[in-house]
Amino acid sequence: MSALLEVSGVSVSFDGFKAINNLSFEIGAAEMRAIIGPNGAGKTTFMDIVTGKTKPDTGRVLWGEFGRSLLAMSEAQIAREGIGRKFQKPTVFEDQSVQENLLMALKKDRGPFAVLFWRPSSADLDRVAALAREIGLADHLGRKSGKLSHGQKQWLEIGMLLAQEPRLLLVDEPAVGMTPAEREHTTAILVEAAKTRAVVVVEHDMEFIRRLDCRVTVLHEGSVLAEGSLERVTANQQVIDVYLGR
Amino acid sequence: MRNSFVARNPSVLIFLAILALFTLAITVLSEGVGLGLVSTSFVKTLGKTLCLALIAVAMDLVWGYAGILSLGHFAFFGLGGYMIGMWLMYERTRQIVVDSLANAPIPPTPQEISDAIGSQIFGVVGGSDFPVIWSFAHSLTIQLILVVAVPGLLALVFGWLAFRSRVTGVYLSILTQAMTLALSLYLFQNDSGLRGNNGLSGLQNLPHLDDVPQSIVSIWFFWASALALALGYLLAAWVVSGKFGSVIRGIRDNEARVRFLGYSVEAYKLALFTLTAMIAGIAGALYYPQAGIINPAEIAPIASIYLAAWVAIGGRGRLYGAVIGAGFVSLVSSWFTGGQAPDVHLGFYTIRWVDWWTILLGLSFVAVTLFAPKGIGGLVDLWTDRRAPDRHGADLGPDMGSLREREAER
Ligand SMILES: Nc1ncnc2c1ncn2[C@@H]1O[C@H](COP(=O)(O)OP(=O)(O)O)[C@@H](O)[C@H]1O
Ligand SMILES: [Mg+2]
């Protein structure tokens, strides 16, 4: 199986501080991967690099069957290539309704003129309603998303991510602010998504990671410290020292 | 779809109805075609105000909805005025020249006519040749196209350079001011080809319509301005009603997030900036024939700043707010500066409103920004009960979730 995303030898420094140090990472087309690591390990910065927000100083980021480089693309182009992202802090458009947020995320032509003339068909509205049901916001479609609770915004953002139908989902700390039951629901959604696409989840909660039941990559000081099943990784002495030992 | 557009935007229908009633009332009361209770000069003032309301709608689109604080839209307004002014001035001068040469013993050659028009128009700046930019001044059709094409092209080039480099916020505002200043300074030069600081004048006189009194012409322009405002308002309401509106409001609140959804923020800004520049051009083309004269001072940077003040005072992010702001402030302004406002005698000092009006306007701008960010238009909320959590895009953080939740629900 060839990789969907291949990051190799990537480094980036902020004012001399190496946030990412010779990092390499690969993920297949229908695979779930968890990334763990202490605060400041570079997990969010890694997602910034893949999504085009941060340009690395060195290294390659290749995408898709033809191994196209993502480095020359803008954030919007990368998103249109099929890479969707959920941010660590939930960022939804607070002044707009849940429905408007989801409609904006729906996979459609993104050009200004197409968008200007686009009006949702009943199929589109059904799709949005189905997504809203899936994320437990079916009764809140007309509500301004600024009025949602923190957890509900997390959900909305996950819904927006699904609406984009990306080939790769990058999910940064989805469980923050969720109840145990909500966490379980999130796991179920992510596991389901990973059947047809690649999913990368950053999370601190070990219980959450365990339920994902997938390969784990441990980041430390900007590079990969260990990779493998959760059992193997948590048994690794280095990992225990830098992360679990705290 | 049409039904649902109106149903989803009842304010559009209300606005159009009020505008229609207002137009009808002024027509009935006008000197030209009605009872004569409203003077011709006041009809012109009202017509000009409608044009200002139209550019305010454009400003609201670009600033209130997309968050681009352009301080240069009056440059586009002025350019629209210059484009129509060139035809008005050329055609009227040609008519006068042809009439006066008609009685000459030898019929004048086209060259003689052209020279005579040239020296009539450009005599004040010591020239008589037609500058290249007047090449199409003889054609009303072409000049009408230029009314939208010239501001549109300038906005396209300027916007492409600015947005592509991701200039945002205050820096973009300063850049638009610089553009306005540069354009106005250029037009002040005698060799700019547009008569320097004399500008274009006599624009109220329509060529070939000498028999029609100004009282009638003023009503025509009043109607045209009302129609342009109605169409511009409809267009703006339609643009912001669908997903395009969602995207530009998203850009205003969090432009990085919009990018990660796959939308090219720069393309949207550029499209909107150009569209609003063209609307501003049309507004200007209707304004200056009613004002009678256009000169580079009209394009001075301060004019565009006033425009932002109107929209802020009226309430940005809602189209009728922009109309209310432009109408209210510009009418109050002409009352104060027209010498109608009584001086205030304080014994030791006399407040003359002609001098003090600008300060009053500035203070109102500050007061609105600080205490009533929704502007006058916010009063409408009192009875429509439209309450928005205006939390400037801040998220309900995990730690203070419960507190912020209450704040958002307020
Ligand atoms: N834009 C930036 N400028 C300077 N330092 C940054 C920037 N982004 C991240 N960093 C630093 O890089 C390191 C990795 O951060 P981050 O990727 O956010 O870690 P985490 O694994 O907790 O998500 C941290 O030390 C952080 O302070
Ligand atoms: Mg992080």
Tokens of B169: 């916020």
The CA distance from A8 to B290, in Å, is 67
Angle of helix A150-163 versus helix A98-105 axis, rounded to 10: 30
**Ligand 1 pocket member A43 (CB < 6 A):** yes
E strands within B16-79?
none
Q: In 10 A of CB B209, how many CB atoms?
A: 12
Whether the CB-CB separation of B283 and B80 falls below 8 Å is answered with yes
Say what the pLDDT of residue B385 is.
Answer: 62
- Phi–psi pair at B22, nearest 5 degrees: -60, -45
The per-residue DSSP string of A12-66 comes to: EEETTEEEEEEEEEEEETT-EEEEE--TTSSHHHHHHHHTTSS--SEEEEEETTT
Cβ contact (<8 Å) for A90 and B395? yes
Contacts of B271 in chain A (CB under 8 A): 112-113
Residue B267: closest CA among chain A residues belongs to which residue?
A: A112
Sheet holding A83-86, edge to edge: A83-86, A168-172, A198-202, A32-36, A215-220, A223-228
Whether the CB-CB separation of B199 and B295 falls below 8 Å is answered with yes
pLDDT digits (tens, 9 = 90+) for A170-225: 999 988 888 888 889 899 999 999 999 999 999 888 888 999 999 999 999 999 99
Cβ contact (<8 Å) for A94 and B409? no
Cβ contact (<8 Å) for B262 and A149? no
B242 touches chain A (CB under 8 A): yes
Q: Which residue ranges make up each domain of chain A?
A: 1-81+214-246, 92-169+178-195
Q: In 10 A of CB B167, how many CB atoms?
A: 15
Say what the pLDDT of residue A244 is.
Answer: 58
Q: How many Cα atoms sit within 13 Å of A206 on the Cβ side? A: 9
The per-residue DSSP string of B279-344 comes to: HHHHHHHHHHHHHSEE-GGGGSHHHHHHHHHHHHHH-TTSHHHHHHHHHHHHHHHHHHHTT-SPPE
pLDDT digits (tens, 9 = 90+) for B13-62: 999 999 999 999 999 999 888 898 999 999 999 999 999 999 999 999 99
* B288 min Cα distance to partner chain A (Å): 32
The dotted CATH code for A92-169+178-195 is 3.40.50.300
CATH superfamily membership of A1-81+214-246: P-loop containing nucleotide triphosphate hydrolases (3.40.50.300)
Q: In 10 A of CB B348, how many CB atoms?
A: 5
Say what the pLDDT of residue B403 is.
Answer: 41
Task: Kindly report the pTM of this predicted structure.
Answer: 0.91
The CA distance from A7 to A22, in Å, is 10
Chain CA centroid to CA B300, Å: 14
Listed as ranges, residues in chain B with pLDDT below 70 are 1-4, 385-410
The CA distance from B53 to A44, in Å, is 47
Q: In 10 A of CB B256, how many CB atoms?
A: 12
Say what the pLDDT of residue B296 is.
Answer: 95
pLDDT digits (tens, 9 = 90+) for A21-32: 999 999 999 999
Cβ contact (<8 Å) for A93 and B396? no
- What Rg do the C-alpha atoms of chain A give, in angstroms? 18
- ipTM of the modeled complex: 0.92
Q: Which residue ranges make up each domain of chain B?
A: 9-347
Find the A20 Cα to ligand 1 centroid distance in Å. 9
